[in-house]
Amino acid sequence: MTRLRRALAAALLAALAGGAAAADSAGGKRDWGQEKCFRYARDWSEALRRFGQDGLSAEFVAGNTAFIRSGCRSPDKVCPRADKDRQLADVLALRVVNEGMSTTFLPFDCRH
């Protein structure tokens, strides 16, 4: 049993080391703003894949796409008006918080 544990530990360490090296060589380290945008873009894509775009407003999709393309720096806000927009915004807010970001990072606001 000890040999098996050592082999598993060695395999885990090798996988972790390989993953870290790949991340560093794939574009270097990102600052926190870039990392947040990377995570948001990943979560946005995953949410669209899981939930689909049917029922989402064109403005909501376009606004999020523009936010991501701007490097998540665009001051333009997106208002989740349709039911599915709000559901997706809730999912994204939970993801952001679970990943250590503040919900103030999100591009959502309905001022009008």
Structural domain boundaries of the chain? 1-30, 31-112
Let me know the angle formed at the C-alpha of 79 by 77 and 80, rounded to the nearest 5 degrees: 140
Q: Residue 56: how many CB atoms within 10 A of its CB? A: 20
Return the bridge partners of 78, or none. Answer: 108
Interatomic CA distance for residues 39 and 106, integer angstroms:
12
Per-residue pLDDT of the chain (112 residues; tens, 9 = 90+): 444 444 333 433 344 444 444 444 455 788 999 999 999 999 999 999 999 999 999 999 999 999 999 999 999 999 999 999 999 999 999 999 999 999 999 999 998 6
Dihedral sign (CA 98, 102, 104, 106):
negative
